[in-house]
Amino acid sequence: MNSLKLDENQLIENFEAKLAKNEMIEPKDWMPDQYRKHLIRQISQHAHSEIIGMQPEGNWITRAPSMRRKMVLLAKVQDEAGHGLYLYSAAESMGISREEMLDQLHTGAAKYSSIFNYPTLTWADMGAIGWLVDGAAIMNQVMLQRTSYGPYARAMVRICKEESFHQRQGYEIMNVLASGSAEQKEMAQDALNRWWWPSLMMFGPRDEESPNSAQAIKWKIKRETNDQLRQRFVNQTVSQVEKIGLVVPDKAIKWNEAKNGYDFGEINWDEFWTVVKGNGPCNKARIAAKIKSHEEGAWVREAANAHAEKNNKTKAA
Amino acid sequence: MNDSQGILWEVFIQSKPGQPHKHAGSVHAHDNEMALQNARDLYCRRSEGTNLWVVPASAIVASSPEDIGPFFETSNDKVYRHPTFYSVPEGITHM
């Protein structure tokens, strides 16, 4: 079938022509090695983030303040597991195995979003995470629905549809606390204070410090830059903070008519890089918990394998 | 090899009775039964479906992207397979 043997230059030309027409790249299409590498890294780390992201919220399932909140939190954490699995499948379509990706996570070769290396100290953190962390993630994921790799884009469409309740339930928690007793309001403000800056960090380094960004935009993997997305997040979140009577923990926040957006203070980039490099408050605990659950689940996989093999033999006989 | 995550299955969902099954994504499982259950848990958490198919990914035979021209072109020159190829007198309806 492969009668047309094209040379490398022609293949690149075809690939770029496809991108120029906004056509999606599919698993069996030819693609440059660097494109494949970039996406395997990005999609697998996105998947790892969903999986590790179950831990900070899972921490509060047994202590949710009501049955309603507990059901909602369970459903949300279950969604995160599902999102991780969609993304692992999308990455697998580029030729990396599930086992390989898990191994990279467990050994620290692959990263995940730094936001999940912060602890969840109070119930209000469940509100702040749903509202701000999922809010920032949605901003990024809405853009990625138009990413150039088909399986990744389709996973994003499904994820965005499911995420829409995550942010609302978080904001609801914050709103209820903020309009409760003085103590409850203080708890909400404290959670906002701790999660605000890490949420802004979720968009990654500033554009001029982000060497992979230009290439990602050229390949239409990303459609907007880190700073553009961060700015939009601040613009839409400030009024949500004010609406429930809380205060943005940034003295530099100021509406700027000229740019039709908010000016905001400088992110603590030393903290950002410290957490990225593995020295945040919970990096070690998160990976240790992940490895523990993987090892404790080994007997289930062994049993499932043995069961499948036995059934295959019975059928063959 | 005991630590295997199972094989890859492709999942097809029928969203309503009478509708065709549509590809939703993939899932890992060790056997038929587990594949169906995992597919339900992963792709039908919000009443997305009335029926599910799971197929081992290795069982799917696909045409390759390079074939887009030669493989499908036999149908491109048969315009007479489309109703717009034929002319009918003005005023004729229900046809």
Residue A304 and residue B30: Cβ atoms within 8 Å?
A: yes
Task: Note whether A191 contacts B: Cβ–Cβ < 8 A.
Answer: no
For residues A169 and A76, the answer to whether their CB atoms sit within 8 Å is: yes
Nearest CB to B66; choose among A4, A75, A98 = A4
- pLDDT of amino acid B64: 80
Q: Give the three-class secondary structure for B40.
A: helix
Two structure tokens written together for A96: 């990396």
pTM of the prediction? 0.92
Q: Rounded to a whole number, what is the distance in Å from the CA of A2 to chain B's nearest CA?
A: 7
Does A300 lie at the interface with B, CB-CB under 8 angstroms?
A: no
Closest CA to A133 of A146, A114, A111: A114
- What residues contact A316, with CB distance under 8 A and at least 6 apart? none
CA B66 to chain A, closest CA, distance in angstroms equals: 7
Q: How many CA atoms lie within 13 A of B38 on its CB side?
A: 24
ipTM attached to this prediction: 0.84
Could you read off the pLDDT tens digit of each residue along chain A, which spans 317 residues? 444 567 889 999 999 999 999 999 999 899 999 999 999 999 999 999 999 999 999 999 999 999 999 999 999 999 999 999 999 999 999 999 999 999 999 999 999 999 999 999 999 999 999 999 999 999 999 999 999 999 999 999 999 999 889 999 999 999 999 999 999 999 999 999 999 999 999 999 999 998 778 889 999 999 999 999 999 999 999 999 999 999 999 999 999 999 999 999 999 999 999 999 999 999 999 999 999 999 999 999 999 999 988 888 887 76
Residue of A nearest to B43 (CA): A82
Is the CB of A311 less than 8 angstroms away from the CB of B34? no
Backbone angles phi, psi at A24, to 5 degrees: -80, 150
Rounded CA separation A35/A222 (Å): 12
Cα nearest neighbour of B6 on chain A = A305
Distance CA A14, CA A8 (A): 10
Which positions in chain B have a beta carbon within 8 angstroms of at least one beta carbon in chain A? Answer: 2-6, 8, 24-28, 30-31, 34, 41-42, 45-46, 62, 64-67, 70-71
Positive or negative: CA dihedral A126, A113, A223, A101: negative
